[in-house]
Structure 1
Amino acid sequence: MPGGEDIEESRSSYWRPLIGGIKITRILNVGSTLSFAAVDDNGNEGYVMSGHAALNAGGIGGNIYQYLLPVGDVTDIGGYYSDAAWVEYSNVDPSIYYTDSNVVKDVYDQTDPLLGSMVYKSGKESGLTSGVVTAKYQTQPSQSFGTLYKQFSATYNSDDGDSGGPVFITTPTGKVVLHGVHRGRYNGYASFSPISGVMNDLDVTPIHA
């Protein structure tokens, strides 16, 4: 696949450095999906994950694991424009696990998607799925945060455990443009927090390859 790196790993394998689209867990091995590598306003590297999964891990200070080994504690949680959380962790890479044929793609840029555009979601449970954006900048209810503002909906398939999965498009050169973080389902559609909301809530910027 153009721009992809063929690797012999799975989403739940041991990963160092950490990349987007792989399985991370909290206590008792309950899993969600790592979203993407980022850097905060103080220059600290780390990664973005699901906000409600971070709350279920104990909130700020909660322990996160990958392949049963610790990979940082929850540093910040959104909850206004995003169902997303921030974990400081130095060993990250700006790549996304693309498909279960073991292809990884580099992150090139980030932007909110257009209404009607095609997007992909990479999740630890349902893998790579695609669909069309059906709503943008919509106020949606949240079991964890009460209300989330400026959320997006799309027609891609998703399942439990995909929370935190990166939502993106690919470029002609085989790289990734990040669009947001998958959070669940709303009114029968997949729901995701746009990259603008994640960056605004957490004061982080995706790292580019």
Structure 2
Amino acid sequence: MRRSLTLLLLMAVGACDRAVDPVAPGPDYSAPVFSATMSEVSQDPTPSQAAVAQAVPGFGGYFLDESGAPTVYLTDTSRRPEAEQALAGFLASRGFAAADLRVRQGSYDYLQLEAWYNTAWPKALAVSGAVFSDLDEANNRLRFGAASTSAVLAVQSALALLGIPSAAMKVDQVAPIYQLATLRDRIRPAHGGLQLNFIVENTSPVSYLCTLGFNAVKDGVNSFVTNSHCTNVQGGSEIPTTYYQATRNTPDNIIGFEVDDPHYWISPDCPIPGFMCRYSDAARAEYAEGQEFAIGRVARPVLSNNPAHPDMLTIDAANPTFRIVEEQAYSVVGESANKVGRTTGWTSGLVTETCINSIVLGAAKPIIQLCQTRVQAGVDSGDSGSPVFRVRPDGNVVLQGILWGGSVSGTPSFVFSPMFGVERELGLLDTTDPISEPTKPGNGKGGGKKS
């Protein structure tokens, strides 16, 4: 999970076909060095794989297996008590007891896999037709994908020169992933999952559709978050985007204005020549004066995972929203993830890969989205910006991140930026609902104020 890198062949669709803003080398967003103590790791409801590896010698990865059971790889299974201690916060947060933890015999220590991975992924990315690479904690090995039989063979040949055990690596032929640029009605107070409409200023009269991700308060400013590629320029807010909800057929539908969309940058953690990177495909907009919004709320359709049903975009009148009560920095392979988007509504599935780095093609300057998460669930164009969340047993939800891409061919899947990446770049955000009431109309400081 920690430093896995995925190359996802991404082609622009809808709102996603605009050039990346070329910039000079940016700030050093290199990955943090983990030095958490066992006590700190054990209290974390979703500790990073690297943090657990430092606390438990011989740790090879943790995840939820096919039956939903918490599972850990250990090269020395006698270290189970240490694994139970390190994962105590994770187990408790998901309703498991220490005895529920399943132990699998690991072949490789996670830190050893990470060292091999850091050598292997640049070689894999250099191969034409490569699709992704991942430090696969659910299988205790390195995994790579390529788009054709010939590309699979080429990746295998490149990796064979590195001296890494062949049993520690797997190369699969896989489908590419695409960027994705009723829930479509005008709704106030505004909240996550609703349709956004915008026009690329000064370039085209064509308007674009995305999804409002989630509401947030940043330094007292009432805001919402959507994708960076759902702006005038992906990366940079020099030409601020004006957003409408649901359509721009009247000025009364103006909902907000882009205020923060960090530039893509170059650093040692972005080592492929000519590429720029970020940890999230996220931008923040300030609510227009007088606009109502509901902090910590996501639209709740009547149905989920039913794309052919005529009511797939109909909001449940009796229970119209999900309530966000906490955030989750990272996801875990095997846990559930949901999204609500303006095109395919409410879909859900299991996390299949974590902390994959995605290469975005089709822009003037190629970009890499670092440490993203993939979910096996339905998605389509216009779902870009969808809030991604996990439903707790009490019916409230945990905000996991913001969707930006997916694959609609073969087995559908979507890719999202986790909250650790979003807040790493946009800063700490107040996203949860402290009460059950929606916010009041705006006070002249950009929108509704928290009540």
Q: Into which bin does the TM-score normalised by the smaller protein fall?
A: 0.7 to 0.9
Residue matched to 2:221: 44
Q: State whether residues 379 and 413 of structure 2, in contact with CA within 8 Å, keep that contact through their aligned partners in structure 1.
A: no
Distance 1:106 1:184 in 2: 24
Distance 2:386 2:214 in 1: 8
Q: State whether residues 73 and 88 of structure 1, in contact with CA within 8 Å, keep that contact through their aligned partners in structure 2.
A: yes
Amino acid at match of 2:299: Y
Q: State whether residues 47 and 92 of structure 1, in contact with CA within 8 Å, keep that contact through their aligned partners in structure 2.
A: no
Amino acid at match of 1:32: C
1:12–1:56 distance in 2 versus 1, CA, 3 Å? farther
2:298 alignment partner, one of 96, 99, 109: 96
1:206–1:124 distance in 2 versus 1, CA, 3 Å? farther
Is 1:195 the counterpart of 2:419? The answer is yes
Matching of residues 162-201 of structure 1 within 5 Å: 162-185=383-406, 189-201=413-425
Is 1:22 the counterpart of 2:194? The answer is yes
Q: State whether residues 25 and 65 of structure 1, in contact with CA within 8 Å, keep that contact through their aligned partners in structure 2.
A: yes
1:141 alignment partner, one of 352, 356, 359: 359
1:194–1:24 distance in 2 versus 1, CA, 3 Å? same
Q: State whether residues 38 and 204 of structure 1, in contact with CA within 8 Å, keep that contact through their aligned partners in structure 2.
A: no
Distance 2:419 2:345 in 1: 20
Q: State whether residues 401 and 418 of structure 2, in contact with CA within 8 Å, keep that contact through their aligned partners in structure 1.
A: yes
TM-score, normalised with respect to structure 2: 0.42
Residue matched to 1:161: 382
Post-superposition offset of 1:189? 3.3
Q: Secondary structure at the match of 1:30?
A: strand
Identity %: 29
1:121–1:26 distance in 2 versus 1, CA, 3 Å? same
Q: State whether residues 82 and 148 of structure 1, in contact with CA within 8 Å, keep that contact through their aligned partners in structure 2.
A: yes
| More deviation, 125-134/71-80 | 71-80
Matching of residues 39-118 of structure 1 within 5 Å: 39-40=217-218, 42-55=219-232, 60=237, 61-67=240-246, 68=248, 69-78=253-262, 79=264, 80-89=278-287, 91-93=292-294, 94-99=296-301, 100-102=314-316, 103-111=320-328, 112-118=330-336
Distance 1:107 1:139 in 2: 27
Q: State whether residues 186 and 245 of structure 2, in contact with CA within 8 Å, keep that contact through their aligned partners in structure 1.
A: yes
Q: How many residue pairs get matched?
A: 199
1:196–1:57 distance in 2 versus 1, CA, 3 Å? closer
Q: Kindly name which structure, 1 or 2, has the bigger radius of gyration based on alpha carbons.
A: 2
Q: Secondary structure at the match of 1:199?
A: helix
1:57–1:14 distance in 2 versus 1, CA, 3 Å? farther
Amino acid at match of 1:62: T
Distance 1:162 1:14 in 2: 17
Distance 1:51 1:206 in 2: 19
Amino acid at match of 1:12: R
Amino acid at match of 1:91: E
Q: Secondary structure at the match of 1:164?
A: coil
Q: Secondary structure at the match of 2:352?
A: strand
1:204–1:12 distance in 2 versus 1, CA, 3 Å? farther
Post-superposition offset of 1:56? 5.4
Higher helix share: 2
1:110–1:154 distance in 2 versus 1, CA, 3 Å? same
Amino acid at match of 1:35: G
TM-score, normalised with respect to structure 1: 0.87
Amino acid at match of 1:31: L
1:158–1:206 distance in 2 versus 1, CA, 3 Å? farther
Post-superposition offset of 1:59? 5.7
Cα-to-partner distance string for 1:22-58 (whole Å, 9 max, x where unaligned): 0011024421100001111x22111000110114599
